[in-house]
Amino acid sequence: MRLAIISDSHDNVPNLEKFLDWIAKEKINFIIHCGDLAAPAMLTKGLAPKFSGEIHMVHGNVGDPELLERVAKDLPSVTVHGMVGEIEVDGKKIAFTHFPEKALELAKKGTFDLVFYGHTHKPWEEVVGKTRLINPGTLAGMFYKATFAVYDTKTDKLELKILERI
């Protein structure tokens, strides 16, 4: 299965729409959002109604966590995991959070195959023990080019996508 991993979308509607168009063409039906969606309308009017697959997300440091959780309750395809998400997809144990320090702590546990995080807006990958620690960058394109990641659970291949090139 292919997963799309995004972070730090910060209310950038045009970038979100371009991303959603691309993953629809690619038949990707699973999104992990590593925080800083910002306004809940990005979820209720942008992400959820234009995407039919599963959406797993965590809180960041921008936006109202209680409001986000309240609106997500009416969206069956959306799961808000709080500050840390832990899921298993095709036998891959995956954790995700917004903050790099928490991500590093999760990676050091050695219980996850992959740990995704955001906050810095800078795409990054490193290996901690046997865990891949990955930042998909910023979908909003703030401070760095707009990017996201695609991970294939079958091939274990991770790709960084630069939004302006898709």
pLDDT mean values, one per 10 residues, the chain (166 residues):
98 96 98 95 89 96 92 94 98 98 98 98 98 98 97 98 97
pLDDT attached to residue 46:
87
CA distance 86 to 77: 16
Q: What is the dihedral of CA 85, 42, 77, 90, to 10 degrees?
A: -50
CA distance 134 to 128: 10
pLDDT attached to residue 59:
97
Q: Which amino acid is at 134?
A: I
CB count within 10 Å of CB 74 equals 9
Q: Which amino acid is at 88?
A: E
Half-sphere exposure (Cβ direction) of 48: Cα atoms closer than 13 Å? 20
Domain ranges for the chain: 2-165
Q: What are phi and psi of 138, to 5 degrees?
A: -115, 125
CA distance 97 to 36: 11
CA distance 137 to 50: 22
**pTM for the predicted model, two decimal places:** 0.97
3-state class (DSSP) for residue 77: coil
pLDDT attached to residue 26:
98
Q: What is the DSSP string of 143-164?
A: SS-BEEEEEETTTTEEEEEEGG
> Topology of 2-165 in CATH?
Purple Acid Phosphatase; chain A, domain 2 (3.60.21)
